[in-house]
Homo-oligomer: A and B are copies of this chain.
C-alpha cells in the first residue's frame, strides 16, 4: 500500500507523457481509443485516484459546493442535506457545510468562510427575511418563489391551497392557521394559500407562535382548546413542528383527533408518520429542488470564470416552482357529525373509534 499513484506514475509505467495520461483520464478525446484504454486500465491497476488538490490548483475549481442553512438545527436540515449531497455528488461535487446558528450576520460569515475554503458556489436556504447580497461567487437560493432572487423552491402557496381544499372537502369551515414568524416568506406563502382556498367558503384565523411566546414565555399554551370551544374544527400548521405542538396540546386537553378536530402540518418531518394519530402533511420534493439548485449552480460556475455576474436564472422560471405533495394521514378527518364520505383507508391505528370524546 505505497502512497497513492499519480499521473506521472502511470505515464512512467507506460512510457508515455503525463499530458497524454491526463487527456486519456479526462476522456476529452485527443487520445487514440487504443492508448486511452491501455492507460485507463493501468490507472485502475495502480489504484489511481486523481488528486483534487492538483486539479483544483490548475483549473481554479475546487469542485466543492457550500451549503448554508439559516439554522443547521432546523428539523428540515437532514432532508436538505441529504438531497443536496446526493445531487452534488452525482454531479461530481462535494458539499461543505456552513452553520450560521440562526444568526443573520453569522449567515454571511458562514458564506464567506466557505468561499475562503474554496467553494465554487453556495447553496443557501436563508433565514426568514434575509436577503443574500452579491458574494462574488455563484449562489443558488432556496426559499420561496416569491422571494426576490430565489432560484428554486417548493410551491408553498399552492401547497397551502391544497391543504385548505383538503380541509374544506372534509367539511371544515373554521380553521385556525398556526405560524411562527410573520417575516418568513415561506410561511406567508403557505398561509396565503390556505386563506385563498377558504376565501368565501369558510373562516380562518391566524396564530403566531412567536408572538405568543414573546408574551407568555417559551412553551406556553397556545390556547387551542379554547378555540375549539369557540367553534374551530381544524388546525393547519405551517410546519409539522407546530402541528405536533397542536396535536399534543389538544390531546392533553382531552380533544380527540381526528374525532373532534383535524390537524395538518407541512414538511413531512421524520416523526409525522409515527405519532398517533399520524400527521396529514404537505411534502416538498427535495430531490427535485436539490437537483435544480445544483444544476443552476453548476451552470453558473461553468459559465463565468469566477465572475461577479449577478446570479439569476436563465432557465425557465416556471420549472423552478416545484409542486408539493399532499400526504393524507390520520390526523385529518371529516368534520364531526358529517357523513363519513371519505375514501381514505382506515389506517393501521384505530382512529375509527376514539375512546376519548369530551369537551
Contact = CB atoms under 8 A, between A and B. Distances in A.
A349 B220 CA distance: 6
Interface stretch (A94-102, A200-208, A292-300): A94-102
Contacts of A89: 99, 113
Contacts of A78: 72-75, 77-78
Contact of A270 (B62, B73, B359): B73
A15 interface: no
Interface string A106-117: 000000011011
B73 A241 contact: no
A52 B118 contact: yes
Given A1-B308, A94-B96, A276 B248 contact: yes
A297 to B, nearest CB: 16
A85 B57 contact: no
Interface string A316-359: 00000000000000000000000000000001111100111011
A53 interface: yes
Nearest to A354: B252
Contacts of A276: 221, 245, 248-249, 251-252
A154 interface: no
A129 interface: no
Interface in A9-34: none
A72 B62 contact: no
Secondary structure of the A contact surface, majority rule: loop
A62, A74, A252, A273 pick with most chain B CB within 10 angstroms = A252
A359 B97 CA distance: 50
Nearest to A277: B252
A97 B81 contact: yes
B73 A79 contact: yes
Contacts of A98: 85
Contacts of A74: 78, 270
B117 A349 contact: no
A238 interface: no
A254 B356 contact: yes
A275 interface: yes
Interface string A60-72: 0010100100001
A355 B254 contact: yes
A303 interface: no
Given A218-B273, A248-B247, A274-B244, A77 B81 contact: yes
B64 A72 contact: no
B64 A57 contact: no
Contacts of A256: 252
Contacts of A99: 81-82, 85-86, 89
B251 A248 contact: yes
A8 to B, nearest CB: 14
Given A72-B78, A101-B82, A254-B355, A1 B219 contact: no
Interface of A: 1, 3, 49, 51-54, 56-57, 62, 64, 67, 72-75, 77-79, 81-82, 85-86, 89, 94-99, 101, 113-114, 116-118, 136, 216-221, 241, 244-245, 247-249, 251-254, 256-257, 270-271, 273-278, 306, 308, 347-351, 354-356, 358-359
Q: Which 3 A-B pairs give the minimum distances between C-beta atoms?
A: A251-B251, A53-B56, A254-B356
